[in-house]
């Protein structure tokens, strides 16, 4: 079974100006999809649909065989499970961070899951280590640099160990060292069977990872 299926998806912000125009897509578990396209072509819009933040005006979105609709996500436990399964790195990381301490930012998801304090602490520290940002633990996320914010956002996503990662321009604003280590990390995730969906203007960087490409 495909982990993600989009069938004839339409989306428009303004009537008569469709951004997504009859989009079809199927993605198997463990595959890596690159989403390419010029500025304004609809990559972020597609990602909002994939994460249940926007709903298509027409067409069907199935995640693990379940139709993701506004109605489906009205159920709190279903929403929780869905957001545990799919992690979303926003293009603009600023809008993702809302806690007053990096530690709490990364702990937020695990706490929502009802883990004990020591389990939460274990996860938070593991995820901070994963992105080499233990030193930022007590900092205010809002005051961090753009690249540091991105690392904190990634750590908070990984704290729920999602099966699918949706990454909107993950390399934008990263220095070469961070870029290289993030690429290595994504390769490890793929080897571990995670599904990756990545919007990028740096197609060539993903040549060893990519299974499918769509251009919007
Ligand atoms: N909230 C909104 N209201 C109205 N129009 C919007 C909204 N968000 C995006 N759009 C429009 O939808 C189109 C697609 O935008 P989107 O952000 O999905 O593009 P993108 O491919 O992610 O671009 P970029 O490469 O610049 O990130 C653009 O024409 C944009 O102006
Ligand atoms: Mg975008």
- Cβ of 43 closer than 6 Å to ligand 1, yes or no, is yes
Is residue 36 lining ligand 1, measured as CB closer than 6 Å?
no
Q: Is 40 in the pocket of ligand 1 (CB under 6 A)?
A: yes
pLDDT at 198: 98
Q: Packing angle between helix 146-158 and helix 117-130, nearest 10 degrees?
A: 130
What residues make up the domain containing 142?
A: 2-215
* Model pTM score: 0.94
pLDDT at 113: 87
Q: How many domains does the chain contain in total?
A: 1
Ligand 1 within 6 A of CB of 39: yes
Which of the four pLDDT bands, split at 50, 70 and 90, describes residue 29?
very high
Ligand 1 test: best mutation among 44, 88, 93, 199, most atoms within 8 Å of CB? 44
Predicted confidence (pLDDT) per residue in 36-72, tens digit: 999 999 999 999 999 999 999 999 999 999 999 999 9
Query: Can you tell me whether residue 175 is helix, strand or coil?
Result: coil
- Residue 88: Cβ-neighbour burial (10 angstroms; 0-12, 13-18, 19+): buried
Q: What's 35's domain CATH number? A: 3.40.50.300
Burial of residue 215, with CB atoms counted within 10 A of its CB: 0-12 exposed, 13-18 middle, 19 or more buried: exposed
* Ligand 2 midpoint to CA 152 (Å): 20
Q: How far is CA 173 from the centre of its chain?
A: 17
Burial of 32 (0-12, 13-18, 19+ CB in 10 A): buried
Rounded distance between C-alpha atoms, residue 75 and residue 149, angstroms: 31
Share of the chain above pLDDT 70, in %: 100
- State the ligand closest to the CA atom of 36: 1
Tokens 């993600």 map to which residue?
4
Stretch 85-100: mean pLDDT? 93
Per-residue pLDDT of 98-144, as tens digits, reads 999 999 999 999 998 889 999 999 999 999 999 999 999 999 999 99
């Amino acid at each position: 079974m495909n982990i993600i299926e989009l069938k004839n998806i339409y989306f428009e912000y303004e009537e008569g100006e469709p951004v997504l125009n009859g989009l079809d897509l199927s993605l198997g578990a463990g595959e890596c999809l690159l989403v390419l396209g010029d500025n304004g072509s609809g990559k972020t819009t597609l990602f909002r649909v994939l994460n249940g933040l926007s709903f298509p005006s027409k067409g069907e979105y199935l995640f693990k065989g379940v139709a993701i609709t506004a109605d489906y996500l009205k159920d709190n436990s279903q929403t929780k499970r869905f957001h545990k399964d799919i992690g979303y790195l926003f293009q603009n990381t600023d809008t993702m961070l809302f806690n007053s301490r990096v530690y709490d930012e990364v702990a937020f998801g695990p706490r929502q899951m009802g883990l004990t304090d020591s389990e939460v602490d274990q996860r938070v520290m593991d995820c901070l280590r994963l992105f080499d940002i233990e030193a930022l633990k007590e900092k205010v996320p809002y005051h961090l640099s753009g690249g540091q914010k991105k690392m904190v956002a990634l750590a908070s996503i990984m704290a729920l160990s999602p099966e699918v990662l949706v990454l909107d321009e993950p390399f934008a604003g990263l220095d070469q060292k961070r870029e290289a280590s993030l690429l290595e990390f994504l390769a490890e995730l793929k080897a571990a069977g995670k599904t990756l969906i990545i919007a990028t203007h740096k197609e060539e960087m993903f040549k060893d990872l990519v299974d499918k490409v769509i251009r919007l």
